[in-house]
Amino acid sequence: MLVTLEGIDGSGKTTVWEALRADREEGYTFTHEPTDSWYGKAVRRSEAADDANPLAELFLFTADHADHLSSVVEPALDCGDVVVSDRYSDSRYAYQGVALEGEVPRPMEYVRGIHQPWTRPPDVTLYFDVDPETGAARAGATNKFEQAEFLRDVRTNYEQLIEYTPERFVRIDASQSPEAVLDDAESVLDRVLSDA
């Protein structure tokens, strides 16, 4: 089973991912995008550059995903592990769907289209929902992706993705205290694994 954690910057999902990882060992693979591979390093370099070409950046993120899928996610799933990924394809649909506005028509559909023939969709996605002002404040607004205005549009894209496949998403109220958010995430994960 492939479980992904998604949400805007500052939604607290990485803290949850770290806590889940500390609790669960045997039978789990915890991973994330961007990855720590050289593809992921190229992505982080682009992220830090305010003048990065958004189309070039999309393909760096997508290259990182292709490598992540074949070298980490698919082998772990083949071994029967539960894979828990902090960010995955939906991050590209939501974020690059905003970053590519004005570059290509219907950007989110374009980004989904280039993944569709080869990606492996998640079975369950925990969506950490928080308003963009809180997200930007928590994230520190240190790069171009962490500005409240940008995050507002990213959140709109996430809402659109949830409308497309509501059965895949579980919404978690990420405006709660970190302890309450973690409690919710733990119980959702336990429930989906026992239903599987």
Residues that bind ligand TYD (CB under 6 A): 9, 14, 33-34, 47, 61, 87, 91-92, 95-96, 145
Our CB check for ligand TYD shows the closer of 33 and 184 to be: 33
Determine contact, residues 17/30, Cβ cutoff 8 Å. Answer: yes
Radius of gyration of the chain (CA): 16
Instruction: Give least dist CB 160 to ligand TYD, A.
Output: 16
Instruction: Give least dist CB 15 to ligand TYD, A.
Output: 10
Q: What is the distance between the terminal CA atoms of the chain, rounded to a whole angstrom?
A: 8
Our CB check for ligand TYD shows the closer of 48 and 79 to be: 48
Q: Token match 């998640």: residue?
A: 122
Instruction: Give least dist CB 133 to ligand TYD, A.
Output: 16
| Tokens matching residue 155 | 């959140």
Our CB check for ligand TYD shows the closer of 110 and 193 to be: 110
Cβ contacts of 104-110, under 8 Å, gap ≥ 24: 104/55, 108/157, 108/160, 108/161
In the complex, which residue's CB is closest to ligand TYD?
95
Sheet order of strands, 169-173 included: 28-32, 82-86, 2-7, 124-129, 169-173
Our CB check for ligand TYD shows the closer of 36 and 190 to be: 36
Q: Three-state SS for 43?
A: helix
Q: Three-state SS for 10?
A: coil
Q: Three-state SS for 3?
A: strand
Instruction: Give least dist CB 38 to ligand TYD, A.
Output: 16
Instruction: Give least dist CB 64 to ligand TYD, A.
Output: 7
Our CB check for ligand TYD shows the closer of 145 and 169 to be: 145
Q: Three-state SS for 128?
A: strand
